[in-house]
Amino acid sequence: MPEQACRLYLITPPRFEPRAFADTLKAALDAGDVACLQLRLKGENEAPPQADAIRRATEILMPLAQARDVAFLINDRPDLAAELGADGVHVGQTDMKYAEARKLVGPDRIVGVTCHDSRHLAMEAGEAGADYVAFGAFYKTDTKTPISSASPELLSWWSELFELPCVAIGGITADNAAPLVRAGADFLAVSSGVWAHPDGPAAAVRAMNRIMIEEGTAR
Residue 43 in this model has a pLDDT that exceeds 50: yes
Split at pLDDT 50, 70, 90, the class of 1 is very low
Strand (E) or helix (H) holding 11: strand 7-11
pLDDT of residue 95: 82
pLDDT of residue 21: 98
Backbone angles phi, psi at 112, to 5 degrees: -110, 150
∠ CA 104-143-72 to the nearest 5 degrees?
35
Split at pLDDT 50, 70, 90, the class of 45 is confident
Is 31 within 8 Å of 206 (Cβ atoms)? yes
pLDDT of residue 143: 66
Residue 46 in this model has a pLDDT that exceeds 90: no
Which tens digit of pLDDT belongs to each residue from 169-199? 999 999 999 999 999 999 999 999 999 999 9
pLDDT, the chain, mean: 95
Nearest to 192 by CA among 141, 119, 122, 125: 141
pLDDT of residue 76: 96
Q: In the chain, what's the furthest Cα-to-Cα distance? A: 45
Nearest to 153 by CA among 112, 185, 115: 185
- Rg of the Cα atoms in the chain: 16
- Other CB atoms within 10 Å distance of the CB of residue 3: 7
Residues near 192 by beta carbon (within 8 Å), at least 6 away in sequence: 13, 141, 142, 143
Is 22 within 8 Å of 60 (Cβ atoms)? yes
Residue 61 in this model has a pLDDT that exceeds 80: yes
Residue 134 in this model has a pLDDT that exceeds 60: yes
Residues in the chain: 219
Compute the average pLDDT of residues 50-60.
97
Q: Which of 41-50, 108-117, 173-182, 186-195 has the lowest mean pLDDT?
A: 41-50
Residue 203 in this model has a pLDDT that exceeds 80: yes
Percent of the chain, pLDDT > 70? 96
Compute the average pLDDT of residues 112-121.
97
Split at pLDDT 50, 70, 90, the class of 144 is low
pLDDT of residue 2: 47
CA 57 to CA 71: how far, in whole Å? 15
9: β partners = 36, 189
CATH numbers and ranges of domains, the chain: 7-216 (3.20.20.70)
Is 134 within 8 Å of 90 (Cβ atoms)? yes
Q: Name the residue type at position 195.
A: W
